[in-house]
Amino acid sequence: MSTRRFSLGIFGFSETERRVMASATRLAASRGREYSLLDGAARSGADIAIVDMDDPKAVADWGGAEADAPPALQVHRTPPEHADGDTVTLRRPFTVRRLLDGLDAVAMRNYRYVPSLVIGEASEGSGSADSEAVLQAASRAAESAERSGARALVVDDSAAVRRVMGIELGLFGVEVTYAETGEAALERLRDDTFDLVFLDLVLPGMDGYAVCKQIRRDPRLRRLMVIMLTGRGSRIDRIRGAMAGCTEYLTKPVAQEALHEVLRRHLLKESDHARQQSTGG
């Protein structure tokens, strides 16, 4: 399971509420989340702030208007009715579960991280009610994310993988189209334009290697980024992937951090290319 650690800066709150936060961090460790609590001077460097919005001093210490202030879970006795879309609020009194849900929302919106999610894991799609709730929340965050203008084709015969990839790409503002077979993927590539293709190796009919070779034979698609997704991680498989023309090779189960690194690298490359085209450079 892929787990990222987030540091939490605590601004304000009673001792009772702080004990609830400590309980939440202990429970989180068993559910694919790792949080550490920071107080005092260290909290300004936290990944996420938990701010007592009913305490003016706590709000001032957080400095939410400052560019370098950490993204926050804002706790109110009476939350504002019309908070902006990027603000995550929590009503007092809060429980451990509601606190964790709020922290999940901040992580998804600001770090594109979905707790306990691993792409291509065997148990995917048959998890607990808690996991399903996280996926539904992540889907909502992906739908509301700012669009980047990039488009991706996800080719995989697993509905669970297609769903998770759609969420992950959506959090980066990528518009996603799906195909369940290699033949369907090639048809979509003939009819439409994409910036990235995520291609499963094992597919009904044509396998990923054959699909990638067909892509590279088309002059229009030779520069297309093709990222192979596979449960086979041997050196020979990587060599075969390179010979077929794939750009990247991600081995399942794929950690979110590995996928995020690929997306940052290639989406940045695409945006630089578009900027050069727009300026005539």
Name the E strands within the chain: 5-11, 34-38, 48-52, 72-76, 88-91, 151-155, 175-179, 196-200, 225-230, 248-251
Residue with token string 């148990």 = 123
Give CA–CA dist 244/224, Å, rounded. Answer: 13
Closest CA to 4 of 35, 50, 38: 35
Cβ-Cβ contacts under 8 Å for 202 (sequence gap 6 or more): 208, 230, 231
Cβ-Cβ contacts under 8 Å for 109 (sequence gap 6 or more): 71, 86, 88, 141, 145
Whole-model pTM over 0.75: yes
Question: Contact, 150 vs 175, CB < 8 A?
Answer: yes
Token pair of 259 as six digits: 């996928």
Domain boundaries, the chain: 6-116, 137-278
- Say which CATH superfamily domain 137-278 falls into: Response regulator (3.40.50.2300)
Question: Contact, 243 vs 213, CB < 8 A?
Answer: no
Q: List per-block mean pLDDT (blocks of 10 residues) for the chain, which spans 281 residues.
A: 79 96 90 86 92 95 79 93 78 94 92 82 55 85 89 96 94 96 97 95 94 95 92 78 90 88 80 42 46
Q: Which fold has domain 6-116?
A: Rossmann fold (3.40.50)
Query: What Rg, from alpha-carbon coordinates, does the chain have?
Result: 21
Q: What length is written for the chain? A: 281
Tabulate helix, strand, coil % of the chain (nearest 5): 45, 20, 35
Name the E strands within 129-201: 151-155, 175-179, 196-200
Strand order in the sheet with 175-179: 175-179, 151-155, 196-200, 225-230, 248-251
Residue with token string 């699909």 = 211
Q: Which residues pair with 132 in a beta bridge?
A: none
Q: What are phi and psi of 180, to 5 degrees?
A: -100, -15
Q: Which residues pair with 179 in a beta bridge?
A: 155
Amino acid at 69: A
Assess whether the region 6-116 and the region 137-278 belong to the same CATH fold: yes
pLDDT on residue 216: 95
